[in-house]
């Protein structure tokens, strides 16, 4: 095993060397993805279950592709087809799946801490694909890989994270990961969507998006979830756009080199303008490609058990 | 009262000039040229200047009221921006902030813009306060950012307390974006219940349903804690109880972002006045006991209360000429304001006139972010000339509001407004 921890539950307290190992390995798999035949036998005979208790399209597809590129056997389990609706407990579901002899579980769950609970019930490797408003470590890894690709380093980078910080697992995992890797982080968004105690993690908070744009090397623009509207948290789309939207006009006004990221799916015309998302400053589609490479690296390092050198061919 | 255009060059001569912003008294004259301050003190004015003799009078900044209801749009039969402006000028006010409980309420950038555009035609400066929640329903945050861009100077659901503590928290957090005050009419709706006057021995005597002081103090306390937690600016309107004063005093010692206002009527009356069943004394929050009134005066003296605000609330005769339970809450207050507070605070309590003028001018301007340094050369002339010692009896002839719901008729007041200069016009009593 190449990594110190058996599971990937979150980036809080994750060793910097291991994050670097994942990123380095991911770049090697990126090369595989650029080949005509995008498949290696690294995880042949390894069985992975994608256990999704919450809807997901891109994360699940990204994981599935990563597994297929590594020649693993995969099974998808989603809540709509599960026994949970018939009253089976979380523990029973997990133990029943494991009884069928599997090696790893990739889980998304709406409740923070669910992947941790899963490790208490089963012996397989557990990879967190998002647990509620807690962590989404593979997203943060792919974001850091994309930043590394762009800047050649992470240490010393100034990264702004913009949007609904309070309800974002992407934000929290990025904060943990980026701080561990020596980057500076400034959070921006409506003050009622930035938790008051989050500064204690070691980040800056600045609710003035124009000041953050001036400061940052890259800005990670989070999706504004429409379900937050109407709860009194965000007054309206036009208000959000006026106060925090990454519009073409706003970026033009700053005349500044800044890298624009977005974890997707985007609300064009709300948190980001279509022209910005499609423009030269955006690396959004790179993030998607790096997502497959990052997940290949994570699966390989956690389930492969061989060093990357041995398997390079 | 007549309002006319001021002369190109106007000299206010022989008065005592009080500059509340700098807290000093200046000897000399005030020269206004083209509606702007040309000089204050030693004045060498052109020969053709029009001169007004202000002997025995005080020349000071135009008053600013951060809490009025001008009822436009929706209840133009009670007041309009124009009639409210006349009422304000009669009371020495050159600048007011209008509350958003109109119909429809001022809860969108478009409605804020409506007030700003209409205010352009008025002889005083009128600033809209935007609603905190859409339809003032306490549930859904308004577009505060866009409203601020259109000219909202503060946010309030005035008249309608924000009962939900989580909503108040969200509103305060969001308002930190603009760093302008949130004003919450602090009365716990459940504790207030059907109360129509202060709950005490007098309400017992009269058999009227009481509204306890802790309906106010409990919510004020909550708001003060939320303000400290969020770092937002909180302005407490129309403080009426000794209990609320204590909470504000304690919190202001550690939080400089809290401000508070008191109305003239809470300083002038106590609940015994309600034995007349005069519906013009039915206000929210209610007029409370003599001990509450004394606590408010103490709060003015020690700075716990920052400013005077009238809560000028015009109602039709029909709204008030009815039984006490059915009468609307509120009284007009702009015309009587100075005579009332000057009588109570300077006449009875011995406070300095310049301090009271500060609570009507530079202090409220500071809360709302208006320039308080009005007597500098080049500033637009906002000037009030008053006779601080004149004793007079308030009557209907002194009211210029469209409504007449005042409880002061027949009351002897001290100190009277003589002239008000605002936006190139002069109101002469």
Overall number of domains in chain B: 2
- What phi, psi does B392 have (nearest 5°)? -150, 160
Question: Does residue A267 share a domain with residue A153?
Answer: yes
Question: Does residue A166 share a domain with residue A117?
Answer: no
Per the structure block, which two tokens stand in for A25? Answer: 């390995």
Judge whether A296 lies within some domain.
Answer: yes
What is the predicted pLDDT for the residue at A305? 57
Overall number of domains in chain A: 2
Q: Which residues of A touch B141 (CB under 8 A)?
A: 192, 232-235
Q: How high is the mean pLDDT of chain A?
A: 92
Rounded average pLDDT over A273-298:
97
Question: Does residue B115 share a domain with residue B48?
Answer: no
DSSP SS3 for B384? strand
Judge whether A85 lies within some domain.
Answer: yes
Q: Of all residues in chain B, what percent carry a pLDDT higher than 90?
A: 99
Judge whether A313 lies within some domain.
Answer: no
Mention every residue, 6+ apart, whose C-beta is less than 8 A from residue B69: B79, B98, B99, B101, B158, B311, B312, B313, B314, B330
Question: Does residue A112 share a domain with residue A173?
Answer: no
Q: Which residues of A touch B134 (CB under 8 A)?
A: 235
Q: Does B149 touch chain A (CB under 8 A)?
A: yes
Which chain A residues touch B if contact means CB-CB below 8 Å?
190-192, 196, 207, 230, 232-236, 238-239, 242-243
Site from B107, B177, B229 to mutate, A interface, most A CB atoms within 10 angstroms? B177
Question: Does residue A142 share a domain with residue A229?
Answer: yes
Question: Does residue B72 share a domain with residue B23?
Answer: no
Judge whether A11 lies within some domain.
Answer: no
Question: Does residue A144 share a domain with residue A224?
Answer: yes
CATH of the domain at A278: 3.40.50.1370
Question: Does residue B173 share a domain with residue B43?
Answer: no
Asked if A238 lies within 8 A of B146 by C-beta distance, the reply is yes
Question: Does residue B46 share a domain with residue B130?
Answer: no
DSSP A224-267: PPGGGBTTTSB--HHHHHHHH-B-HHHHHHHT---EEE--S---
Judge whether A7 lies within some domain.
Answer: no
Judge whether A1 lies within some domain.
Answer: no
Rounded average pLDDT over B415-422:
98
Question: Does residue B114 share a domain with residue B88?
Answer: yes
Q: What is the pLDDT of residues A54-99, one digit of tens each?
A: 888 899 999 999 999 999 999 998 876 566 667 778 888 889 989 9
Mention every residue, 6+ apart, whose C-beta is less than 8 A from residue B391: B412, B413, B414
Residue in A167, A214, A160, A220 with CA at minimum distance from that of residue A186: A160
Q: Does B144 touch chain A (CB under 8 A)?
A: yes
Judge whether B301 lies within some domain.
Answer: yes
Judge whether A310 lies within some domain.
Answer: no
Q: Which residues of B are marked as active site? A: 311
Judge whether A164 lies within some domain.
Answer: yes
Question: Does residue A264 share a domain with residue A148?
Answer: yes
CA distances from A306 to A128, A265, B295, B404 (A): 22, 35, 79, 90
Question: Does residue A273 share a domain with residue A164?
Answer: yes
- Domain of A47 in residue numbering reads as 16-135+291-303
Question: Does residue B88 share a domain with residue B72?
Answer: yes
Judge whether B75 lies within some domain.
Answer: yes
- Tell me the nearest-neighbour CA distance from B223 into chain A, angstroms: 16
Mention every residue, 6+ apart, whose C-beta is less than 8 A from residue B378: B36, B37
Q: Determine the residue of chain A that is closest to B175 in CA distance.
A: A191
Q: Does B136 touch chain A (CB under 8 A)?
A: no
Which among B140, B167, B176 is the nearest to A191, CB-wise? B176
Question: Does residue B25 share a domain with residue B114?
Answer: no
Judge whether B318 lies within some domain.
Answer: yes
Q: Which of residues 152-211 of B touch A (CB under 8 A)?
A: 167, 169-170, 173-174, 176-177
Site from B133, B142, B145 to mutate, A interface, most A CB atoms within 10 angstroms? B145
Q: Which residues of B touch A230 (CB under 8 A)?
A: 140
- Domain of B13 in residue numbering reads as 2-59+377-388+414-428
- What phi, psi does A125 have (nearest 5°)? -70, 135
User: How far is it, in rounded angstroms, from Cα B96 to Cα B84?
Assistant: 10
Question: Does residue B121 share a domain with residue B10?
Answer: no
pLDDT range class, residue A230, cuts 50, 70, 90: low
Asked if A191 lies within 8 A of B142 by C-beta distance, the reply is no
Q: Supply the DSSP symbol for B115.
A: H
Question: Does residue B84 share a domain with residue B11?
Answer: no
Judge whether B23 lies within some domain.
Answer: yes
Judge whether B176 lies within some domain.
Answer: yes
Judge whether B213 lies within some domain.
Answer: yes
Asked if B177 lies within 8 A of A190 by C-beta distance, the reply is yes
What is the predicted pLDDT for the residue at A57? 86
DSSP SS3 for B120? coil
User: How far is it, in rounded angstroms, from Cα B374 to Cα A142?
Assistant: 58
Q: Supply the DSSP symbol for B390.
A: E
Residue A313 pLDDT exceeds 60 = no
Question: Does residue B159 share a domain with residue B104?
Answer: yes
Asked if A191 lies within 8 A of B144 by C-beta distance, the reply is no
Q: Which residues of B touch A238 (CB under 8 A)?
A: 143, 146
Q: What is the pLDDT of residues A12-59, one digit of tens each?
A: 999 999 999 999 999 999 999 999 999 999 999 999 999 999 888 899
- Tell me the nearest-neighbour CA distance from A261 into chain B, angstroms: 24
The secondary structure element, H or E, covering residue B131 is none
pLDDT range class, residue A310, cuts 50, 70, 90: very low
pLDDT range class, residue A309, cuts 50, 70, 90: very low
Question: Does residue B121 share a domain with residue B174?
Answer: yes
What is the predicted pLDDT for the residue at A82? 61
Judge whether B395 lies within some domain.
Answer: no
Asked if B230 lies within 8 A of A196 by C-beta distance, the reply is yes
Asked if this assembly's ipTM is beyond 0.95, the reply is no
Question: Does residue A269 share a domain with residue A177?
Answer: yes
Residue A308 pLDDT exceeds 70 = no
Question: Does residue B67 share a domain with residue B53?
Answer: no
CATH of the domain at B8: 2.30.40.10
User: How far is it, in rounded angstroms, from Cα B131 to Cα B105?
Assistant: 7
Question: Does residue A108 share a domain with residue A25?
Answer: yes
Question: Does residue A228 share a domain with residue A143?
Answer: yes
CATH of the domain at B252: 3.20.20.140
Pair type for strands B24-26 and B50-53: unpaired
CA distances from B39 to B11, B230, B358, B377 (A): 10, 44, 21, 6
Identify the burial level of B19 via C-beta atoms within 10 angstroms of its C-beta, where 0-12 means exposed, 13-18 middle and 19 or more buried. Answer: buried
Residue B241 pLDDT exceeds 60 = yes
Asked if A234 lies within 8 A of B141 by C-beta distance, the reply is yes
DSSP A51-93: EESS--SHHHHHHHHHHHHTT-EEEEEEGGGSSGGGT--HHHH
Judge whether B409 lies within some domain.
Answer: no
What is the predicted pLDDT for the residue at B280? 97
The secondary structure element, H or E, covering residue B86 is helix B81-90
Identify the burial level of A116 via C-beta atoms within 10 angstroms of its C-beta, where 0-12 means exposed, 13-18 middle and 19 or more buried. Answer: middle
Residue in A95, A117, A121, A140 with CA at minimum distance from that of residue A261: A140
Q: How high is the mean pLDDT of chain B?
A: 97
pLDDT range class, residue A312, cuts 50, 70, 90: very low
Question: Does residue A259 share a domain with residue A174?
Answer: yes
Question: Does residue A241 share a domain with residue A113?
Answer: no
Q: Of all residues in chain A, what percent carry a pLDDT higher than 70?
A: 93
Residue A182 pLDDT exceeds 80 = yes
Residue in B211, B209, B267 with CA at minimum distance from that of residue B238: B267
């Amino acid at each position: 095993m190449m990594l110190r921890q058996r599971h990937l539950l979150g980036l809080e307290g994750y060793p910097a060397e291991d994050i670097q190992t994942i990123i380095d390995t991911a770049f090697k798999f990126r090369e595989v993805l650029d080949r005509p035949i995008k498949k290696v036998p690294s995880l042949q005979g390894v069985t992975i279950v994608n256990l999704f208790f919450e809807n997901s399209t891109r994360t699940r597809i990204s994981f599935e592709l990563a597994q297929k590129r590594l020649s693993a056997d995969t099974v998808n389990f989603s809540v709509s087809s599960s026994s949970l609706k018939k009253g089976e407990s979380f523990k029973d579901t997990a133990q029943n799946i494991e009884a069928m002899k599997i090696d790893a579980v990739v889980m998304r769950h709406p409740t923070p801490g669910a992947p941790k609970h899963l490790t208490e019930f089963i012996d397989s490797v557990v990879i967190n694909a998002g647990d509620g408003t807690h962590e989404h470590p593979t997203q943060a890894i792919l974001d850091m890989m994309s930043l590394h690709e762009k800047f050649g380093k992470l240490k010393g980078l100034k990264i702004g994270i913009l949007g609904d910080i309070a309800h974002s697992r992407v934000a929290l995992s990025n904060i943990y990961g980026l701080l561990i890797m020596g980057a500076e982080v400034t959070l921006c968004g409506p003050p009622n969507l930035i938790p008051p105690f989050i500064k204690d993690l070691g980040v800056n908070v600045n609710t003035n998006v124009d000041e953050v744009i001036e400061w940052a090397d890259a800005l990670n623009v989070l999706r504004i979830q429409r379900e937050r509207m109407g709860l009194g948290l965000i007054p309206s789309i036009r208000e959000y756009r006026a106060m925090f939207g990454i519009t073409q006009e706003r970026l033009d006004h700053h005349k500044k080199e800044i890298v624009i990221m977005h974890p997707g799916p985007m609300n064009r015309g709300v948190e980001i303008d279509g022209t910005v998302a499609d423009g030269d400053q955006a690396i959004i589609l790179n993030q998607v490609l790096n997502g497959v490479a990052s997940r290949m690296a994570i699966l390989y390092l956690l389930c492969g058990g061989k060093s990357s050198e041995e398997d390079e061919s | 009262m007549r309002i006319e255009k001021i002369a190109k060059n106007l000299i206010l001569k022989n008065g005592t000039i009080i500059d509340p912003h700098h807290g000093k008294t200046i000897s000399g004259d005030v020269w206004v040229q083209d509606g702007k301050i040309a000089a204050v003190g030693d004045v060498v004015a052109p020969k053709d200047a029009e001169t007004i003799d202000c002997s025995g009078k005080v020349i000071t900044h135009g008053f600013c009221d951060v809490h009025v209801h001008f009822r436009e749009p929706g209840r133009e039969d009670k007041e309009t921006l124009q009639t409210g402006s006349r009422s304000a000028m009669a009371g020495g006010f050159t600048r007011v902030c209008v509350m958003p409980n109109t119909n429809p309420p001022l809860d969108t950038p478009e409605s804020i813009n409506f007030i700003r555009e209409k205010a352009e035609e008025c002889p005083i400066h009128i600033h809209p306060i935007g609603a905190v929640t859409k339809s003032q329903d306490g549930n859904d945050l308004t577009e505060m950012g866009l409203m601020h861009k259109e000219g909202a100077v503060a946010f309030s659901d005035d008249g309608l307390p924000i009962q939900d503590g989580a909503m108040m928290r969200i509103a305060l957090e969001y308002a930190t974006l603009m760093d302008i005050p949130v004003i919450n009419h602090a009365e716990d709706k459940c504790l207030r219940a059907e109360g129509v006057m202060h709950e005490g021995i007098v309400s017992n005597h009269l058999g009227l349903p009481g509204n306890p002081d802790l309906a106010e103090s409990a919510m004020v306390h909550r708001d003060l804690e939320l303000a400290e937690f969020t770092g937002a600016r909180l302005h407490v309107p129309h403080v009426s109880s000794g209990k609320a004063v204590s909470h504000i005093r304690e919190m202001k010692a550690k939080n400089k972002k809290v401000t508070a206002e008191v109305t003239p009527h809470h300083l002038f009356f106590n609940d015994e006045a309600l034995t007349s069943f005069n519906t013009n004394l039915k206000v929210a929050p209610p007029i409370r006991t003599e001990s509450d009134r004394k606590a408010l005066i103490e709060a003015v003296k020690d700075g716990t209360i920052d400013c005077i605000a009238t809560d000028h609330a015009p109602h039709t005769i029909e709204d008030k000429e009815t039984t006490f339970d059915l009468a609307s809450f509120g009284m007009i207050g702009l015309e009587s304001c100075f005579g009332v507070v000057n009588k109570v605070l300077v006449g009875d309590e011995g406070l300095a006139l310049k301090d009271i003028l500060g609570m009507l001018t530079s202090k409220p301007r500071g809360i709302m972010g208006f320039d308080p340094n009005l007597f500098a050369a080049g500033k637009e002339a906002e000037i009030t000339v008053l006779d601080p010692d004149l004793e007079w009896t308030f009557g209907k002839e002194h009211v210029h509001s469209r409504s007449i719901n005042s409880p002061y008729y027949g009351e002897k007041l001290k100190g009277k407004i003589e002239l008000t200069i605002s936006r190139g016009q002069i109101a002469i009593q």
